[in-house]
Amino acid sequence: MSALKITSKNFENEVLKSEKPVLLDFWASWCGPCKMVAPIIDEIAKEAEGIAKVGKINIDEEEELAQAFHIMSIPTLVVVKDGKVVDSSVGVKPKKAILSLISE
């Protein structure tokens, strides 16, 4: 499964009501570091199937969600469990570090 495109329309169902932890990748098409982390996020989306959900939020298209999460820099990764933010990370990280966010 690839990463889900998260929008304000599907946010409640896909993220807040998810029974699994959700890793959110806040990104933009013009962001170089976002392009570096994108293949890692896609790998994790495939590997974490059944354990966690992975979603991508384009901050240019979903400004309200970016503001709601107080996104100041991208890429920003946020983990939501039971509708609450439980962890976050800013900047490019190795796959192992990203996996540790959702496995804790």
Indicate which residue of 4, 31, 38, 90 is catalytic: 31
* DSSP-based three-state secondary structure for 32: helix
Query: Going from the N-terminus, what domains does the chain have, and what CATH number goes with each?
Result: 4-103 (3.40.30.10)
CA distance 74 to 58: 10
Q: Quick one: pLDDT at residue 50?
A: 85
Q: Quick one: pLDDT at residue 103?
A: 81
**Average pLDDT over every residue of 16-40:** 97
Q: How confident is the model at residue 63 (pLDDT cuts 50, 70, 90)?
A: very high
Told to judge if 31 belongs to the known catalytic residues of this protein, a careful annotator would answer yes
Place of tokens 């982390």: 37
Indicate which residue of 15, 34, 45, 52 is catalytic: 34
**Average pLDDT over every residue of 93-99:** 95
Count H helices and E strands in the chain, helices first: 4, 5
Q: Quick one: pLDDT at residue 104?
A: 65
Q: How confident is the model at residue 1 (pLDDT cuts 50, 70, 90)?
A: low
